[in-house]
C-alpha cells in the first residue's frame, strides 16, 4: 500500500546546504485529510478510502454531498480523491491523516494539473525548430511543415504533433526527494518543481519505482526479552518507592525521640538564671557546715562516754 496524502502548492523558494549550494524547493500544505468513506471488497468490490482536503462553504455544496460529509462528521471539502488500500479496517470515517505519514528523505510521486496555456503552435507546444528565416520561405516560419504521407495511406496518422490546447492536463513527476516535513504546520518541502501553479491541488504518493520501507510510520517492535525487562522494571521501581516510604517515618520517629530527650537537658531553666544561684548557694553552704560540725561534736561525745577496753597484755 502506497502512502498517500492530499495537498496544495504554496510556492517555490530555495535553501542552502552546509556546503553553500542552493537547493530549489516547493512548499506544499499537506493535510490534514479527512477520511470521508471506507470502501471494502465485500460491499464495493475493492478496498479503498476517500480523502477530503481543503474547506468549502456549505452554501456551495449540494444536498447529496452534504449528506456524505455529515455522515463522516466533517465540514464540506473541496478536493476529494480515492486511494486504494490493503487494510480498510484500519481506517474509519472522520479519521484525520496528517503530513506525518511522509518522512524526510523519502522519494515521492507528485500528481497535479499543469498550468493551462491555451491554444499553442508546434514550436511552443512540441519544441519544433521552425523554418529558416531566409530567402525562399513564405509565410511559414513557425509552421509544422508537411504532415501527410504519400498517396497510399492518403491520411494523417493519429498522434501527429500538431498545434492544439497546451497544458491544463494531469501530470505526474516521479522520484522527488522530500527535504523537510513539519507535521505541526502541515508543511512538506520537496526538492524541485511540481505540476501546477500556486494554490493548485496535488496528490503526494510514495514513489512507485523506489518505494519506502513501510506503508505507514510504525513504532519499532520490542523483542520479548526486552519487553519482559520493561514489564519487570516498574515492579522494582515500586518496591524501591515503598521501601523509601517506609524508611522515612522510622528516621523521623528517631529524630523526634532524640529531640524529645534532649529538650529537658538542654533547657535547665533554674540553672541558667545566675541571680538565684548566688543567693541560694551561701545558704546551703552554711547549713551544711553547721550540720557537719554538730555531727562531729556528737561523735566525740559518744566516744568519751564509751568505757575503755582492757588491755589483754
Q: What is the pLDDT of residues 281-298, one digit of tens each?
A: 444 444 555 555 666 666
Q: What is the pLDDT of residues 113-130, one digit of tens each?
A: 999 999 999 999 999 999
Residue 261 has what pLDDT?
47
Band (pLDDT 50/70/90 cuts) for residue 275 is low
Residue 215 has what pLDDT?
52
CB 301: neighbour CB atoms within 10 A? 9
Residue corresponding to grid cell 548566688: 278
Residue 151 has what pLDDT?
85
Residue 220 has what pLDDT?
42
Residue 247 has what pLDDT?
52
With contact defined as beta carbons under 8 Å apart, do 165 and 148 qualify? no
Band (pLDDT 50/70/90 cuts) for residue 309 is low
Residue 152 has what pLDDT?
86
Please state the separation of Cα 22 from the chain's center in Å.
29
Share of the chain above pLDDT 70, in %: 68
SS3 at position 260: helix
| Domain residue ranges in the chain | 4-117+161-206, 221-265
Q: What is the pLDDT of residues 226-261, one digit of tens each?
A: 545 545 545 545 455 545 554 544 544 444 444 444
With contact defined as beta carbons under 8 Å apart, do 181 and 105 qualify? no
Query: Does residue 104 have a cis bond before it (omega within 30 degrees)?
Result: no
Band (pLDDT 50/70/90 cuts) for residue 47 is very high
Is residue 206's pLDDT more than 70?
yes
Band (pLDDT 50/70/90 cuts) for residue 268 is low
Phi-psi region of 32 (alpha: psi -120 to 50; beta: other; left: phi over 0): beta
Residue 82 has what pLDDT?
94
Q: What is the pLDDT of residues 143-155, one digit of tens each?
A: 999 888 888 888 9
Q: What is the dihedral of CA 152, 154, 156, 157, to 10 degrees?
A: -30
Q: What is the pLDDT of residues 56-79, one digit of tens each?
A: 999 999 999 899 899 999 999 999
Please tell me which residue, 183 or 211, carries the higher pLDDT value.
Answer: 183
If you average pLDDT over every residue of the chain, what do you get?
Answer: 79
Q: Could you give the C-alpha distances from 302 to 32, 290, 294, 295, 310, in angstroms and in order? A: 120, 19, 12, 11, 18
Band (pLDDT 50/70/90 cuts) for residue 21 is very high
Q: Name every residue whose Cβ is closer than 8 Å to that of residue 177 and which is 6 or more positions away in sequence.
A: 105, 106, 107, 190, 191, 192
Residue 289 has what pLDDT?
55
Is residue 11's pLDDT more than 90?
yes
Residue 150 has what pLDDT?
83
CATH number, domain 4-117+161-206: 2.40.30.10
With contact defined as beta carbons under 8 Å apart, do 12 and 191 qualify? no
With contact defined as beta carbons under 8 Å apart, do 88 and 38 qualify? yes
Residue 34 has what pLDDT?
94
Burial of 240 (0-12, 13-18, 19+ CB in 10 A): exposed
Is residue 301's pLDDT more than 60?
no
How far is it, in rounded angstroms, from Cα 274 to Cα 212? 93
Amino acid at each position: 500500500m502506497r502512502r498517500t496524502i492530499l495537498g496544495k502548492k504554496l510556492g517555490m523558494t530555495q535553501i542552502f546546504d552546509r556546503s553553500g549550494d542552493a537547493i530549489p524547493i516547493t512548499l506544499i500544505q499537506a493535510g490534514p485529510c479527512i477520511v470521508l468513506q471506507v470502501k471494502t471488497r465485500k460491499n464495493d468490490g475493492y478496498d479503498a478510502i476517500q480523502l477530503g482536503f481543503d474547506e468549502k462553504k456549505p452554501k456551495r455544496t449540494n444536498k447529496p454531498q452534504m449528506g456524505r460529509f455529515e455522515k463522516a462528521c466533517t465540514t464540506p471539502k473541496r478536493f476529494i480523491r480515492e486511494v486504494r488500500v490493503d487494510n480498510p479496517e484500519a481506517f474509519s470515517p472522520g479519521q484525520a491523516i496528517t503530513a506525518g505519514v511522509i518522512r524526510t528523505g523519502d522519494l515521492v510521486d507528485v500528481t497535479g494539473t499543469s498550468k493551462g496555456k491555451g491554444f499553442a503552435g508546434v514550436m511552443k507546444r512540441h519544441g519544433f525548430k521552425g523554418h529558416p528565416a531566409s530567402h525562399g520561405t513564405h509565410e511559414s516560419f513557425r509552421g509544422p511543415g508537411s504532415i501527410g504521407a504519400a498517396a497510399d495511406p492518403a491520411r494523417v496518422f493519429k498522434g501527429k504533433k500538431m498545434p492544439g490546447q497546451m497544458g491544463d492536463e494531469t501530470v505526474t513527476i516521479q522520484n522527488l526527494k522530500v527535504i523537510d516535513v513539519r507535521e505541526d504546520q502541515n508543511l512538506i518541502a520537496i526538492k524541485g518543481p511540481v505540476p501546477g501553479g500556486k494554490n493548485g491541488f496535488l496528490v503526494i504518493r510514495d514513489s512507485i519505482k523506489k518505494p519506502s520501507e513501510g506503508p505507514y510510520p510504525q513504532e519499532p517492535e520490542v523483542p520479548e526479552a526486552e519487553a519482559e525487562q520493561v514489564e519487570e522494571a516498574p515492579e522494582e521501581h515500586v518496591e524501591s518507592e515503598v521501601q523509601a516510604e517506609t524508611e522515612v517515618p522510622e528516621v523521623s520517629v528517631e529524630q523526634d525521640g532524640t529531640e524529645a530527650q534532649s529538650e529537658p537537658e538542654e533547657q535547665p531553666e533554674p540553672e541558667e538564671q545566675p541571680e538565684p544561684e548566688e543567693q541560694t548557694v551561701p545558704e546551703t553552704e552554711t547549713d551544711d557546715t553547721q550540720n557537719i560540725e554538730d555531727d562531729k561534736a556528737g561523735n566525740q561525745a559518744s566516744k568519751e562516754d564509751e568505757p575503755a577496753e582492757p588491755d589483754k597484755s
